[in-house]
């Protein structure tokens, strides 16, 4: 498209935003409609003769045929690692303990991958996000393979890679003061290193300055402390101070573990997750609370409303809800409807592989039916809004998550033409029931086409896949050196299912608690 020119994008179905919709502003479904893009903004949306007129006047026309064109999906937990889901989502807590660092390893950890391999891993993850229809992401990756946490240079490389690919990112290196470990006797604990935590926070603050200097409209700097039980009071408080001073967002992992988080905080710091966030100056509208599962309404906490939802709503906190990951790890949000009715803003995250928000929406919808005991309470519209408008509110970006004049030209289309999609009634329902993120056929970010028919310009997907497999093998081979329970000759498991992979080490029962520890090696 020439400078100052326009591109008309046509699709059989378009989810547009209408400020004048009866009943209040919200999404409307248009048939055979055109979205007109000028520069990095949407200039007009129309169907019928008006749409045809827009198309006729455009410098370039893109006809997506039988597809659903919708606002670009926003992933508040966009996973960019390769290995953990394959190794930790089918196992007992006893095996999970073997995936964590040993106490001795925590005293002298190392980088498993060299800088080039770390860059390739992040590129692999970012490409997967685009292929599944994500246009804006707040990436997350594991620290288990690093020397402690992410670095300034790692995230600068991520920013450059993401910008070159064309995806919009909200980035910051993770940081922590401690790490979950498994001791030689099988018990769990946290190994603390305050000096490393302080250095990692300094790197994160320096990265904010670097992003400001980059002045790249696709890259926004944020603060991303790791799980709060592994971050000291002092560093959490400094995070709150820097966030307030600079007006930057914070994504914090909290209310996602029972004994591994709530229990530790109560025993060792005499507090609850929300109280700790509050006294750190983090419980406000700049906070994206990753998961937000274990609050008072959850049956494994109190099973009744004691004010947590009202507290979150009053503070303006946003939840990054990850329904597919929640289901895979059996840590279910206690009814999305409760959160929304209380006024809590909810966005979605994938936090898993594949980074598929369509599958996540479907999982959440089916769970809602079961939780409400009502097939009509699937909350499909609410989940779609969470993946778009809810994410935009969490990011303080009202120009994202909607197709209307003046909004950012971030668009994604999902093909409905595959015979396996079946008959089309409501295209959103059909996509949710029969499709996945793999049906993404078109992606545009800030007016730039970043993916068309599964092709990303300049990306050799076959070569990237091969490199991803090689890196996975290297990551898996490194687990035994960290395994406190492996013994001589210990090696990582290789299996197709739990049934064929049981061993004495895995059948001894849980260590420390019979509640899964929710991937304490993760951020």
What's the distance, CA 405 to chain centroid? 28
Work out the end-to-end distance of the chain between its first and last CA atoms, rounded to an integer number of angstroms. 41
Handedness of CA 293, 296, 297, 301 (dihedral sign): positive
Question: Token digits for 307?
Answer: 């004010």
Handedness of CA 128, 321, 379, 75 (dihedral sign): negative
Residue 358 CA to residue 28 CA, distance in Å, equals 19
Please choose, from the candidates 283, 312, 280, 282, the residue with its C-alpha nearest in 3D space to the C-alpha of residue 296. Answer: 312
What's the distance, CA 17 to chain centroid? 24
Mean pLDDT to the nearest integer, 160-182: 96
pLDDT band at 487 (very low <50, low <70, confident <90, very high): low
* Residues whose CB is less than 8 angstroms from the CB of residue 48 and which lie 6 or more positions away in sequence, other chains included: 32
Position 521 pLDDT exceeds 70: no
Residue 141 CA to residue 356 CA, distance in Å, equals 16
Please choose, from the candidates 134, 139, 99, 141, the residue with its C-alpha nearest in 3D space to the C-alpha of residue 118. Answer: 141
Question: Which pLDDT belongs to residue 291?
Answer: 94
Mean pLDDT to the nearest integer, 14-40: 94
Question: Position of tokens 């994500």?
Answer: 134
Residue 293 CA to residue 154 CA, distance in Å, equals 30
Please choose, from the candidates 504, 523, 522, the residue with its C-alpha nearest in 3D space to the C-alpha of residue 92. Answer: 504
pLDDT band at 488 (very low <50, low <70, confident <90, very high): low
Q: What is the DSSP letter of 72?
A: P
Mean pLDDT to the nearest integer, 420-441: 95
- At 99-127, the pLDDT tens digits run 889 999 999 999 999 999 999 999 999 99
Please choose, from the candidates 280, 308, 276, 279, the residue with its C-alpha nearest in 3D space to the C-alpha of residue 294. Answer: 308
- The dihedrals phi and psi of 68, each to the nearest 5 degrees, come to -110, 115
Question: Which pLDDT belongs to residue 78?
Answer: 92
Residue 13 CA to residue 68 CA, distance in Å, equals 5
Question: Which pLDDT belongs to residue 89?
Answer: 75
Mean pLDDT to the nearest integer, 357-382: 94
Specify which residues 38 forms β-bridges with: 6, 41
Residue 502 CA to residue 504 CA, distance in Å, equals 7
Mean pLDDT to the nearest integer, 15-19: 94
- Is 0.85 topped by the overall pTM? yes
SS3 126: helix
pLDDT band at 94 (very low <50, low <70, confident <90, very high): confident
């Amino acid at each position: 498209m020439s400078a100052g020119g326009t591109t008309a994008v046509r699709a059989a179905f378009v989810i547009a935003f209408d400020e004048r919709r009866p009943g209040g502003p919200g999404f409307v479904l248009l048939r055979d409609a055109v979205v007109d893009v000028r520069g990095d903004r949407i200039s007009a949306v129309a169907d019928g003769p008006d749409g045809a007129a827009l198309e006729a006047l455009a410098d370039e026309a893109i006809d997506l045929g039988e597809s659903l064109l919708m606002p670009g999906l926003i992933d508040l937990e966009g996973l960019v690692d390769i290995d953990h889901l394959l190794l930790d989502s089918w196992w007992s807590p006893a095996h999970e303990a073997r995936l964590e660092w040993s106490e001795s390893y925590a005293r002298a950890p190392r980088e498993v991958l060299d800088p080039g391999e770390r860059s390739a891993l992040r590129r692999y993850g970012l490409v997967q996000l685009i292929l599944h229809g994500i246009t804006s992401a707040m990436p997350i990756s594991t620290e288990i393979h690093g020397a402690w946490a992410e670095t300034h240079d790692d995230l600068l490389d991520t920013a450059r890679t993401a910008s070159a690919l064309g995806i919009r990112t909200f980035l910051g290196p993770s940081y922590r003061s401690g790490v979950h470990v498994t001791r030689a006797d099988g018990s769990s604990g946290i190994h603390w290193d305050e000096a490393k935590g302080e250095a990692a926070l300094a790197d994160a603050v320096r990265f904010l300055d670097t992003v400001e200097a980059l002045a790249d409209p696709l890259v926004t700097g944020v603060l991303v402390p790791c799980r709060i039980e592994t971050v000291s009071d002092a560093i959490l408080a400094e995070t709150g101070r820097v966030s307030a001073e600079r007006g930057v967002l914070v994504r914090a992992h909290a209310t996602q573990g029972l004994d591994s988080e709530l229990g530790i905080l109560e025993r060792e710091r005499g507090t609850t997750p929300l109280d700790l966030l509050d006294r750190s100056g983090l419980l406000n509208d700049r906070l994206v609370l990753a998961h937000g599962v274990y609050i008072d309404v959850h049956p494994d906490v109190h099973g009744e409303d004691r004010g947590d939802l009202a507290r979150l709503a009053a503070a303006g906190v946003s939840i990054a809800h990850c329904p597919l990951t929640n289901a895979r790890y059996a840590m279910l949000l206690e009814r999305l409807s409760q959160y929304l009715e209380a006024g809590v803003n909810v966005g979605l995250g994938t936090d898993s592989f594949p980074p598929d928000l369509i599958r996540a929406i479907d999982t959440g919808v089916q769970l809602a039916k079961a939780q409400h005991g009502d097939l009509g309470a699937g909350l499909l519209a609410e989940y779609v809004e969470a993946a778009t408008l809810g994410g935009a509110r969490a990011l303080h970006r009202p120009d994202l998550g909607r197709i209307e004049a003046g909004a950012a030209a971030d668009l994604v289309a999902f093909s409905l033409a595959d015979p396996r999609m079946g008959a089309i009634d409501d295209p959103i329902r059909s996509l949710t029931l029969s499709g996945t993120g793999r049906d993404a056929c078109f992606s545009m970010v800030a007016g730039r086409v970043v993916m068309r028919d599964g092709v990303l310009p300049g990306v050799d997907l076959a070569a990237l896949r091969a490199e991803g497999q090689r890196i996975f093998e290297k990551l898996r081979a490194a687990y035994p050196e960290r395994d406190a329970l492996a013994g001589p000759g210990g090696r990582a498991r290789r299996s197709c299912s739990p049934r064929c992979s049981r061993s004495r080490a895995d059948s001894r029962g849980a260590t420390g608690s019979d509640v899964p520890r929710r991937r304490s090696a993760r951020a």
